[in-house]
């Protein structure tokens, strides 16, 4: 990439992406997976450590094996602590770099800087990509795509060297390694080998005869091998998250897939009513699916007919169709039928169709370049405004899910998430109302039932809570939210049901072993049932993590008194007073011990 003008344009495109996403630096973490990935993940919160690296590469977490993504989150904590601005900055920079490299790849491969710049700019500023770039937990998507695009750049370098008879192995190896890095960031990159075959057809124009086609397929064998390996790994770690056909019948999935293909394109042209979660809606008629299928077939046929004069159309279209396959939800993973983040890579194909299509439409137009630049600038300006507005909806959990409820119908998951947001603000009655609204739509949803049950229990409405217990049982097996277990355990503490409180405090600590609050509470619950030795162990463990926690120091003193170790208890109360001189209970306990001596 020696052309200074191309480098300058790529830098300007990266700066454009950063400028549009600058607003995201003011956004907070959200309660939609950010807690699972960062704020309540003690491995990540420890920063970049040897233990964290070992965990990232040897264990799956949240039904994913994404070691490189975990490493970047750990590095963020090392650099920025738990300041969300730093974590957002990393996402933005990766997204901006992907935009720049996408331009460089397309321009070098096609020698059309204007069309390449428009396609890359659309990728960099389109509102549908906000979910990937402005959501910290979707680091895996932007990181995987960065490696995808740089692997394509390396592959183009390999093709140029191979065709000119120069040494090519280094570039081929670089492409393969970058592809594997992409898989280790998010396994959606498994379709990359198919995308390389499309690139071979256009813009690299390699598939000129049967021999060339055979060679192109053979050289992709290492790529297909790693795709197969990661497909098997993903199926293994996500088996618990894959919905069975008894829950979602095959015909329902096919119908959703057909309509989703069209809906993503519709949202690309008119990016309004974008939400963090789209619920499944009842199928009232087969005609939307039939119409969508017919439209997909018609576009496919049209791109095939024009393949010789407009090869970018068939390549862009099959790029879109093919790269969407892992997330089109034929194999249903998670709760959503579609999501904006799923279109992050696939829409690159549509952006190519639009950019080169517009260039060809203006072929006979006078001042073609000027008109193309003006039209591109207008499109970029409009989409940039939509994107900046969409970024604002991600500023915090409340804004995110309130907006989702405003732009979707029957969104039981958004009611649940908004309720959890209120729950964390101790607005229990308001949270309960949101859970009830969600249960009206999805009465058997385990998480909604769990949240309603645990909130009612906390509010002391045990009898009313019982009716939600049975439907919440499937959630107990999943148990991904330690703060809810802690909340439930506290409610048992209020009822003086210390045995159950201990069970759920320990469940919370299994998921987040460094939660000081849960350690303190479980110690108190253990003392209440006479297990003072075990209580002391928890207090000591908590203080080893944060020696300045005066409440735990005081409780440690209480446990030492119960164990008949007054001198150590007195030292603990003196330490408590050093940390909090106005804490009267510590002064009283210390006075009693000194009088006895």
Same domain, 385 and 293: yes
Q: Which residues, other chains included, contact 96 with Cβ-Cβ below 8 Å and sequence gap of 6+?
A: 13, 14, 15, 17, 18, 21, 124
Residue 457 lies in a domain: no
**CA angle, 38 as apex, 519 and 471 as ends, to 5°?**
70
Same domain, 176 and 314: yes
Angstrom distances, CA of residue 434 to CA of 31, 299, 389, 457, 490: 15, 43, 25, 16, 22
- For tokens 């003011």, what's the residue? 26
Q: Which two tokens stand for residue 433?
A: 């109302």
Residue 74 lies in a domain: yes
Same domain, 232 and 375: yes
Please state the pTM of the whole predicted model: 0.88
Please give the pLDDT value at position 495.
80
Q: Are residues 203 and 319 in contact, defined by beta-carbon separation less than 8 angstroms?
A: no
Q: Where are the strands (E) in 180-241, listed by range? A: none
Q: Which two tokens stand for residue 38?
A: 């960062």
- Work out the widest C-alpha separation in the chain, in whole angstroms: 102
Last residue of a domain, one of 352, 372, 397: 397
Same domain, 499 and 364: no
HEC profile for 251-263?
Answer: HHHHHHHHHHHHH
d(CA 502, CA 126): 49
Residue 445 lies in a domain: no
Same domain, 181 and 75: yes
Please give the pLDDT value at position 334.
64
Instruction: Report cis status (omega within 30 of 0) of the bond before 394.
Output: no
Q: Are residues 45 and 14 in contact, defined by beta-carbon separation less than 8 angstroms?
A: no
Averages of pLDDT over runs of 10 residues in the chain (597 residues) are 83 98 96 89 92 93 92 97 97 98 96 96 98 97 98 95 86 97 97 97 94 95 97 83 67 89 97 92 87 97 97 98 91 78 98 97 90 97 97 96 94 93 90 95 90 88 86 69 77 86 90 88 95 94 91 94 92 93 90 83
Q: Which residues, other chains included, contact 210 with Cβ-Cβ below 8 Å and sequence gap of 6+?
A: none
SS3 119: helix
Same domain, 379 and 506: no
Please give the pLDDT value at position 365.
84
Residue 446 lies in a domain: no
The total domain count for the chain is 2
- The one-character DSSP state at 276 is S
Same domain, 386 and 491: no
Give me the domain span that covers residue 126: 4-397
**CA angle, 547 as apex, 545 and 552 as ends, to 5°?**
95
Instruction: State how far Cα 11 lies from the chain centre.
Output: 27
- The one-character DSSP state at 243 is P
Last residue of a domain, one of 397, 422, 448: 397
Residue 411 lies in a domain: no
Residue 410 lies in a domain: no
Question: Residue 583's domain is classified under what CATH number?
Answer: 1.25.40.10
Residue 459 lies in a domain: no
Closest CA to 489 of 514, 468, 471, 507: 507
Residue 419 lies in a domain: no
What is the signed CA dihedral for 54, 60, 64, 67, rounded to 10 degrees? 10
Same domain, 229 and 94: yes
Please give the pLDDT value at position 1.
46
d(CA 54, CA 356): 46
SS3 325: helix
Which region, left, alpha or beta, applies to residue 274 given φ > 0 means left and ψ of -120 to 50 means alpha? beta
Q: Are residues 319 and 200 in contact, defined by beta-carbon separation less than 8 angstroms?
A: no
Last residue of a domain, one of 397, 421, 437: 397
User: Any alpha helices (H) in 408-531, and if so which ranges?
Assistant: 412-424, 428-441, 446-458, 462-465, 469-478, 482-494, 498-511, 516-528
């Amino acid at each position: 990439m020696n052309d200074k003008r191309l480098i300058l344009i790529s830098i300007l495109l990266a700066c454009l992406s950063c400028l549009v996403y600058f607003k995201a630096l003011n956004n907070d973490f959200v309660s939609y997976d950010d807690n699972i990935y960062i704020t309540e993940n003690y491995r990540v919160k420890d920063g970049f450590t040897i233990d964290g690296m070992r965990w990232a590469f040897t264990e799956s977490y949240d039904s994913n094996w994404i070691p490189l993504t975990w490493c970047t989150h750990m590095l963020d904590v090392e650099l920025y602590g738990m300041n969300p601005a730093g974590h957002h900055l990393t996402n933005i920079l990766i997204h901006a770099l992907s935009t720049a490299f996408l331009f460089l790849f397309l321009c070098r491969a096609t020698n059309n800087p204007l069309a390449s710049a428009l396609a890359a700019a659309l990728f960099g500023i389109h509102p549908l990509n906000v979910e990937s770039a402005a959501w910290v937990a979707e680091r895996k998507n932007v990181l995987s795509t960065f490696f995808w695009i740089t692997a394509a750049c390396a592959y183009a370098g390999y093709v140029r060297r191979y065709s000119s008879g120069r040494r090519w192995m280094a570039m081929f190896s670089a492409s393969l390694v970058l592809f594997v890095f992409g898989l280790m960031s998010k396994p959606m990159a498994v379709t990359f080998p198919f995308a390389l075959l499309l690139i071979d057809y256009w813009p690299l124009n390699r598939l000129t005869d049967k021999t060339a086609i055979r060679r192109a397929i053979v050289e992709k064998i290492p790529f297909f091998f790693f795709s197969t390996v990661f497909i098997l790994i993903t199926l293994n770690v996500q088996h618990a998250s894959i919905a069975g056909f008894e829950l979602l019948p095959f015909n329902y999935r096919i119908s959703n897939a057909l309509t989703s293909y069209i809906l993503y394109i519709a949202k690309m042209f008119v990016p309004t009513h974008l939400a963090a979660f789209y619920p499944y809606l009842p199928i009232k008629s087969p005609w939307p699916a039939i119409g969508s299928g017919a439209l997909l077939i018609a576009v496919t046929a049209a791109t095939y007919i024009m393949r010789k004069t407009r090869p970018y159309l068939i390549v862009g279209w099959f790029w879109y169709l093919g790269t969407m396959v892992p997330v089109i939800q034929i194999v249903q993973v998670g709760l959503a039928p579609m999501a904006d983040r799923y279109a992050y890579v696939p829409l690159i194909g549509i952006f190519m169709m639009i950019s080169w299509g517009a260039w060809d439409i203006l072929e006979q137009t006078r001042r073609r370049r000027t008109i193309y630049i003006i039209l591109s600038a207008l499109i970029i300006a409009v989409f940039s405004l939509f994107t900046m507005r969409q970024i604002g909806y991600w500023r915090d959990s409340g804004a995110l899910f309130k907006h989702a409820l405003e732009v979707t119908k029957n969104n039981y998951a958004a009611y649940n998430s908004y309720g959890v947001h209120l729950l964390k603000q101790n607005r229990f009655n308001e949270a309960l109302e949101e859970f009830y609204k969600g249960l009206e739509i999805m009465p058997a949803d385990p998480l909604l039932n769990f949240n309603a049950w645990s909130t009612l229990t906390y509010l002391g409405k045990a009898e009313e809570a019982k009716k939600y217990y049975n439907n919440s049982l499937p959630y107990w097996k999943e148990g991904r939210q330690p703060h809810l277990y802690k909340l439930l355990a506290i409610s048992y503490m209020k009822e003086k049901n210390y045995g159950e409180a201990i069970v759920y405090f320990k469940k919370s600590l299994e998921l987040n072993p460094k939660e000081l609050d849960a350690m303190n509470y479980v110690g108190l619950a253990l003392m209440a049932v006479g297990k003072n030795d075990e209580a002391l162990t928890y207090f000591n463990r908590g203080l080893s993590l944060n020696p300045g926690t005066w409440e735990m120091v005081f409780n440690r003193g209480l446990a030492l008194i119960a164990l008949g170790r007054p001198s150590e208890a007195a030292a603990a109360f003196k330490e408590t007073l050093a940390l909090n001189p106005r804490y009267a209970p510590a002064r009283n306990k210390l006075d009693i011990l000194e009088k006895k001596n």
